[in-house]
Amino acid sequence: MKPTPYSAEILTVGNEIITGLVADTNSSVITRRLETLGIPVMRHVSVGDDAEEITNALKQALERVDCVILTGGLGPTHDDITKHVLARFFDSKLVPDDSVKRRIESIFKSRGMSAPQNAHTQAEVPEKATVLDNAKGTAPGLLFEQDGKRVYALPGVPLEAEHLLETHLVPHLENLGTGKVWHRILKTTGVPESLLWQEIGPVSQFEDFVKVASLPSLLGVRIRFTATGKDLAEATAQLDAAEKLLREKIDHHIFAVDDETMEGNLGEWFRSNQRTLAVAESCTGGLIGHRITNVSGSSEYFLEGAVTYSNSAKHTRLGVDPAWIETHGAVSEEVATAMAEGIREWAGSDFGLAVTGIAGPTGGTPHKPVGLTYIAVTGPHGTYCEKFRFHQDRVRNKERAAQAALNLLRLYLLDES
């Protein structure tokens, strides 16, 4: 008889989660990581800061699975009750832990502060729990073991939860999984999902290697490959074969893999080619520059960004002829081109990138509707401008325009290469 796989359930605690004020990102991160260990997550359950609800959810989960991972409710405030509920559930009194106390005091001392009294309450831990050291925050993680089952309690702060996941849970659980799973995500942009798959062709061509999922979003379509193997080498071979086949179909649409980003990969190109960039923005309001400077070391190649929102700024800052704005409008191919060339000349950069558009919801006309956007790139081999029409609200139009601008720059640089 085939053995039953070791299984897990994730229990998220917090009123902010069930009311929708805060998105539960911890469950997805933990689930993906456990998948790589071959441990299936059977359920995601969320409850509020209510002792009875937490207790009932925990009891039910332990009847179903081998391991329960709780996140949230370990802080020092009145609504952080998870630790107390767990102490009662496992009939364990709270006792002081000197190592946790020293860490809390050290953290506040590094900030030039004395630890407040309520922070010291986090150094009180259930006697029957194993304390999981948290180098990223003041609340330690906890592990309870009973009747062959495990209950982990992690802070709700995503950075801390992920740190404890990697430093404690993964080493504890990595030898318990079966049928280990690996993913690879190839990120595309600039083409709708239906047209993308028309270019790719039938999904059956990949199924000799991997399982395939198509994940559309505001900024593009992610294609996720999933491979199952006895080890990483076997799975990697399957993923590589599937990626090679996909790139034969749509390589020009793929801008990043897994944790890579558009701006990160662009930065690598500029750094390795020792080229520089300047950006002029209107409707995106600095969003392109923000994304570029999210990359550490971007000062090596990003010279400057100008938010030339008004017509007068386009003229005085970038040298755009007022007659062109009068004749063609601020949102036009002519003005976008002049903006890109103007910022490149002003900054003395190798490449210039510019965007002008109507983000909405006001400002559109029948001739130039909301969402109309022009993006221009200029470099040593000339200037190219493309027209776009976005159809979302103001914030989403800005996000899509910034993504389209970076992608147009990427495609321009591919030709450059």
Is residue 127 scored above 80 in pLDDT?
A: yes
Give me the pLDDT at residue 100, please. 84
Q: Categorize the per-residue pLDDT at 1 as very low, low, confident or very high, splitting at 50, 70 and 90.
A: very low
Strand order in the sheet with 149-154: 41-47, 8-13, 67-71, 149-154, 141-146, 130-132
Tell me if 3 is assigned to some domain. Answer: no
Give me the pLDDT at residue 389, please. 96
Count: domains in the chain? 3
Express as a percent the part of the chain with pLDDT over 70: 99
Asked whether the beta carbons of 219 and 204 are under 8 A apart, the reply is no
Q: Categorize the per-residue pLDDT at 177 as very low, low, confident or very high, splitting at 50, 70 and 90.
A: confident
Query: Are 169 and 193 in a shared domain?
Result: no
Q: Is the pTM of this model over 0.85?
A: no
Among 146, 173, 200, residue at a domain's last position: 173
pLDDT tens digit sequence for 6-21:
999 999 999 999 999 9
Residue 347: its H or E element:
helix 333-347
Query: Are 132 and 281 in a shared domain?
Result: no
Query: Are 222 and 147 in a shared domain?
Result: no
Say how many Å lie between the first and final Cα of the chain, rounded.
57
Is residue 69 scored above 50 in pLDDT?
A: yes
The 3-state DSSP class for residue 412 equals helix
Q: Categorize the per-residue pLDDT at 3 as very low, low, confident or very high, splitting at 50, 70 and 90.
A: low
Query: Are 251 and 305 in a shared domain?
Result: no
Query: Are 403 and 344 in a shared domain?
Result: yes
Residues spanned by the domain of 25: 8-173
Residue 70 has, within 13 A of its CA and on its CB side, a CA count of 31
pLDDT tens digit sequence for 254-282:
999 999 999 999 999 999 999 999 999 99
Mean pLDDT, the chain, as a whole number? Answer: 94
Query: Are 204 and 240 in a shared domain?
Result: yes
Cα 185–186–188 angle (5° rounding)? 135
Asked whether the beta carbons of 92 and 177 are under 8 A apart, the reply is no
Tell me if 375 is assigned to some domain. Answer: yes
Query: Are 24 and 131 in a shared domain?
Result: yes
Among 208, 239, 257, residue at a domain's last position: 257
CA distance 53 to 89: 12
CATH code of the domain covering residue 132? 3.40.980.10
**And the tokens for 261?**
């980003």
Work out the average pLDDT over 147-173.
96
CA distance 296 to 410: 19
Among 211, 230, 257, residue at a domain's last position: 257
